[in-house]
Chain A
Amino acid sequence: AQKVTQAQTEISVVEKEDVTLDCVYETRDTTYYLFWYKQPPSGELVFLIRRNSFDEQNEISGRYSWNFQKSTSSFNFTITASQVVDSAVYFCALSGGPGGATNKLIFGTGTLLAVQP
């Protein structure tokens, strides 16, 4: 069975601090995809990144970076120099299955990030 665990329910930081959101996944598939989405108070899920299981290179996009480690089944997300606008719920998600795509996303329970000014 596929499962995504985001153990951190809530994180509160002060602006300009760095923060890492943890994501641990379970799957028996050899081909799978991992995603991060941001859900601000407005409710719309905003896509941040997609990573496939064959690409373990870390990625950096501005203040955002992602660390994918297959050995520990983790796909962690770091925000550097956090800003108030980063306040949102962040979801990690997994898809996979025979051939690599079941066409549905399995989401974790999300981490609420509150950035205080």
Chain B
Amino acid sequence: DTGVSQDPRHKITKRGQNVTFRCDPISEHNRLYWYRQTLGQGPEFLTYFQNEAQLEKSRLLSDRFSAERPKGSFSTLEIQRTEQGDSAMYLCASSPTGTSGGYQETQYFGPGTRLLVL
């Protein structure tokens, strides 16, 4: 059983550069989530997809951030014109759709991409 995978695991970039992260969810999961975690804090929700549709975005997701999930499989998260404040761990999670309205399935997380902006 393959879990959620993320690539790259680590990224160092200079301020102002663009970066892109990839997430491959568990194969039968049609929901995919992005979270950001800074040092000493819990993960914070960024956005979520059901299949290819982006259904919810956090106010944390500024205009410099864009996420896609073409064909409802893997997802990419791009940060344009990176800033030092973007340094964080970016976590991806996936879950199945609930079997009935309102049922919250468990989210399974990948290993994360650790971003350092110099």
Which residues of the partner chain A approach B41 to less than 8 Å between Cβ atoms?
A: 109-110
Q: Which chain A residues in 58-99 approach chain B with CB under 8 Å?
A: 91, 93, 95-96, 98-99
Tally of B interface residues using CB under 8 Å = 29
Task: Tell me how far the C-beta of A18 lies from the nearest C-beta in chain B, rounded to whole angstroms.
Answer: 24
Are A100 and B40 in contact (CB-based, < 8 A)?
no
- The distance in angstroms between the C-alpha atoms of A52 and B105, with both chains bound, is 11
- The distance in angstroms between the C-alpha atoms of A93 and B103, with both chains bound, is 16
B110, closest chain A residue (CB): A44
Task: Tell me how far the C-beta of B5 lies from the nearest C-beta in chain A, rounded to whole angstroms.
Answer: 11
Number of A-B contacts (CB under 8 A): 69
B21 at the interface (CB under 8 A from A): no
Are A99 and B31 in contact (CB-based, < 8 A)?
no
Task: Tell me how far the C-beta of A36 lies from the nearest C-beta in chain B, rounded to whole angstroms.
Answer: 11
CB 8 Å contact bits of A37-61 with B (1 = contact, 0 = none): 1000011111100101000000000
CB 8 Å contact bits of B45-69 with A (1 = contact, 0 = none): 1001000000110100000000000
- The distance in angstroms between the C-alpha atoms of A31 and B101, with both chains bound, is 12
Are A95 and B104 in contact (CB-based, < 8 A)?
yes
B41, closest chain A residue (CB): A109
A44, closest chain B residue (CB): B111
Are A110 and B42 in contact (CB-based, < 8 A)?
yes
B27 at the interface (CB under 8 A from A): no
B25 at the interface (CB under 8 A from A): no
Q: Which residues does B use to contact A, with CB under 8 Å? A: 31, 33, 35, 40-45, 48, 55-56, 58, 89, 91, 93, 98, 101-104, 106-112, 114
Q: Which residues does A use to contact B, with CB under 8 Å? A: 4, 31, 33, 35, 37, 42-47, 50, 52, 91, 93, 95-96, 98-110
24 A-B pairs with CB atoms under 8 Å apart are A31-B102, A37-B109, A43-B111, A44-B110, A44-B111, A45-B93, A46-B109, A47-B108, A47-B109, A52-B104, A91-B43, A98-B102, A100-B102, A100-B103, A100-B104, A101-B98, A101-B104, A103-B104, A104-B56, A105-B45, A107-B42, A107-B44, A110-B40, A110-B41
